[in-house]
A and B are shown apart, each in its own frame.
Chain A
């Protein structure tokens, strides 16, 4: 009598649709997936260990390199955690600019997601279009921080510097044109029969399973859970803004696609509201124990120079205690847990990466489907290996 055996196939770490260096060991029955074993850690740089040896300001550049497709969201999460620990606030202008940048970052991250996700499952045009818009966000990054990806722009107590005058116009123009671009993507995808066949019914995970396995962010909302930290655990002043939280119904890849597209439109609305209420004012709080001095003091007075040196080299001592700050990063809940022993360096800094926890669901979402559907699942989870491996 004939018998059948399963076949083991290695996918990655060098594979165009694994979004970086994800390695999957697949057990296959024909082309149907029986088991998926992810192997991660190829990008492990020991950010948590390094953080224990740096002062609070010196850790900030490391956070850019976690989710490198959304640097400012990481900066924001870390800075909010340190501010909570220190008990310092931020001026209104800084808070507003932070929200503008956090939402532009969400747009940027979702643009890369739609580009790569569509490319993976056979719609190449969207990739070119979405990267065109992403370029504008990169230019805004460059305009305010000098860097296109590793922004390092926020500071404890505010921002590193004020934004240039052309910032408002550039962001405003981008936000005004973005809904039209989103219509273009939707025109290419939402009614495209190939797209529908590839996404409807793919990677289904129920709301209970999604909560149990820890999925957060758009993937959780695509499963019908009405939960958004910006609204439900408001931080950084999001409670002053009016926006909707989209929720899916069918728990599949298509619903997660719709949720992210609506989120992008809502992000545009938040940025518009923020631009309207942007008033001149200081961008760094007056808290000399914690904050860097203004640059003109550093250049023109010895006291300012000493102050700058002290903050840059020795840093500041944080009170003893522990805080956790979660933010709604583009990919889900990004959390920073800081344990302080009263010194100028954290005793322990734990980063709770959304992609790490979301990736865990890959087996549940893909067993029983084809290899090509697994590629769609990787795309819809929107993972970034930089924050999975840290």
Chain B
């Protein structure tokens, strides 16, 4: 059970006020945390609980579905313990910023650039925050839900074969 997960117990002990939600689905544990404690929590997980690799960092756009529009998702892997953990934190549209995790894992560099490029979330104190997949002069953030599928100057997409 998610509540008995070793990492979750340790996190609840140390960051009780910042743990907002713990969910287990299909054997995977997801912990939602407050944004201001994110770097402390990630550092703690890396240094004390041996989550030594950041497998992935991405974002999800919940436009019109949740009050906080974006969710930044960190997939952690512990090679010594053969264990995975997912950490999520909400980012609002009005304050579309989050501290960078590059000082915790250097993997975060390009992954954060990609999230910035496609979602427009700004990673504060990132060493090199430039667009990575789109061209530098691109306007808009393609993976946002309100960005038209067929591009900015095209008819809106109305579904396949319709």
Residues of chain A touching chain B, judged by Cβ–Cβ distance below 8 Å, are: 40-41, 44, 46, 48-50, 53-54, 58, 84-85, 87, 211-214, 225, 227, 232-233, 321-324, 326, 333, 335, 337, 339, 341, 347-348, 350, 352, 356-357, 360, 389-390
Contacts and interface: CB of A to CB of B under 8 A. Distances in A.
Given A49-B149, A87-B26, A214 B133 contact: no
Contact of A350 (B28, B30, B56, B157): B56
A343 B101 CA distance: 33
Interface of B: 25-26, 28, 30, 52-56, 58, 60-62, 65, 73, 75, 79, 82, 84, 86, 105-107, 109-111, 114, 118, 132-135, 142-143, 147, 149, 157, 159-160
28 contacts: A41-B133, A49-B147, A50-B149, A53-B160, A85-B26, A211-B53, A212-B52, A212-B106, A213-B106, A214-B107, A321-B25, A322-B30, A322-B86, A323-B26, A323-B28, A324-B56, A324-B84, A335-B55, A337-B58, A341-B65, A348-B60, A348-B61, A352-B56, A356-B114, A357-B107, A357-B110, A360-B106, A390-B133
A321 B26 contact: yes
Contacts of B111: 357
Contacts of B157: 53
B79 A227 contact: yes
Given A214-B54, A321-B25, A360 B109 contact: yes
A49 B106 CA distance: 26
A357 B159 CA distance: 33
Contacts, number: 94
A54 B160 contact: yes
B106 A352 contact: no
Contacts of B160: 53-54, 58
A41 B107 contact: no
Nearest to A208: B52
B142 A49 contact: yes
A44 B134 contact: yes
A36 to B, nearest CB: 13
A324 B86 contact: yes
Contacts of A225: 79
A194 to B, nearest CB: 34
A48 B143 CA distance: 8
B132 A41 contact: yes
Contacts of B73: 337, 350
A360 B142 CA distance: 23
A27 to B, nearest CB: 15
Contacts of B109: 360
Contacts of A46: 142
- Central interface residue in A87, A214, A324, A352, by most chain B CB within 10 Å: A214
A40 B79 contact: no
Contacts of B28: 322-324
Contacts of A335: 55-56, 75
